[in-house]
Amino acid sequence: MDRSVLLSKLKVIVANYSHDKDALEYFNESTDFIKDLKINSANLVDVVLDVEEEFDIEIDNLSMERMVNVSAAMEIISDKLKEK
Amino acid sequence: MIGNDIVDLRQARLESNWRRKGYLEKLFCPREQFWILEASDQTQMVWLLWSMKESAYKIHSRRKNWRAFAPLKLICQTLEIKGALVTGSVQCENITFFTQSILSQHFIHTVATEQFPLPPIKVNISGYNPMDTSYRNTEPATVSHHGRYLALAYT
């Protein structure tokens, strides 16, 4: 999947949980889910579940541990898509 | 070192659906899930266990400079509920954290330490105003805010 497509799909998902709409404007590969978007930690699991549904992949616990920013999320999604 | 975590139950109800498929399995080990399913107030149990994990994570992440979303590495080991007061323990990578929680109709608040029995900890729970950062001058040992509440704890 094209990186910009992946990025835009991810943005749609995290927009539902972001408490900082300004930071969402500047959403990019170095955006941090908690520090920048102020996503509540209990909602990180929703991001993970939404990603699983959107891309029809399974995020294992080790991958989930790293999913605290956009770059890690993109890397994990790309890898899981390749495994399919 | 201490950690604290507050859950505004109204905010949690608005922003989280713990009954969502796959949700509990990603956050809680089988025994924790059993505690939730057996609880008379399941929602309260979800956020109690969550706040225990979060308060322990705050200590562990600071100490180890560890940043991860790894709720399944923080396992609630013991839990004793006496009215509105809960004492418990959380284990993470062979370190045990001792917790004390307060249950209220509106929020759940937990403090964690590595000491047992828990040292005296002063807790201050107030309304949260994102524009007001004056609480920083009071030099709290740990800060947590969620929804309507700001929780500060001092050793």
* Predicted ipTM of the assembly: 0.93
pLDDT at B26: 97
Residue A56, Cβ neighbours under 10 Å: how many? Answer: 9
- Say how far apart CA B58 and CA A12 lie, in whole Å: 29
Taking the CA of residue A64 and the nearest CA in chain B, the distance in Å comes to 6
Determine which of A14, A40, A70 to mutate to test the interface with B (most B C-beta atoms within 10 Å): A40
Among A17, A40, A64, beta carbon nearest to B26 = A64
Phi-psi region of B93 (alpha: psi -120 to 50; beta: other; left: phi over 0): left
Of all residues in chain A, what percent carry a pLDDT higher than 70? 100
Residue A75: which pLDDT band, with cuts at 50, 70 and 90?
A: very high
Is B25 near chain A, with CB under 8 Å? no
CATH code: domain B2-154 is 3.90.470.20
- Say how far apart CA B72 and CA B61 lie, in whole Å: 14
Residues of A in contact with B74 (CB under 8 A): none
B84: enclosing H helix or E strand: none
pLDDT, average across residues A46-51: 98
Among B12, B21, B69, beta carbon nearest to A64 = B69
Rg of the Cα trace of chain B? 15
Residue A21: which pLDDT band, with cuts at 50, 70 and 90?
A: confident
Of all residues in chain A, what percent carry a pLDDT higher than 90? 95
pLDDT of residue A1 exceeding 90: no
For chain B, which residues score pLDDT lower than 50? Answer: none
pLDDT at B92: 97
Rounded to two decimals, the pTM is 0.96
Structure tokens at A77: 């999604």
pLDDT at A84: 87
Is B12 near chain A, with CB under 8 Å? yes
pLDDT of residue A44 exceeding 90: yes
Residues of B in contact with A66 (CB under 8 A): 68-69
pLDDT of residue A81 exceeding 90: yes
Angle in degrees, CA B146, B150, B155, rounded to 5? 125
Angle between helices A3-15 and A70-83 (to 10 degrees): 120
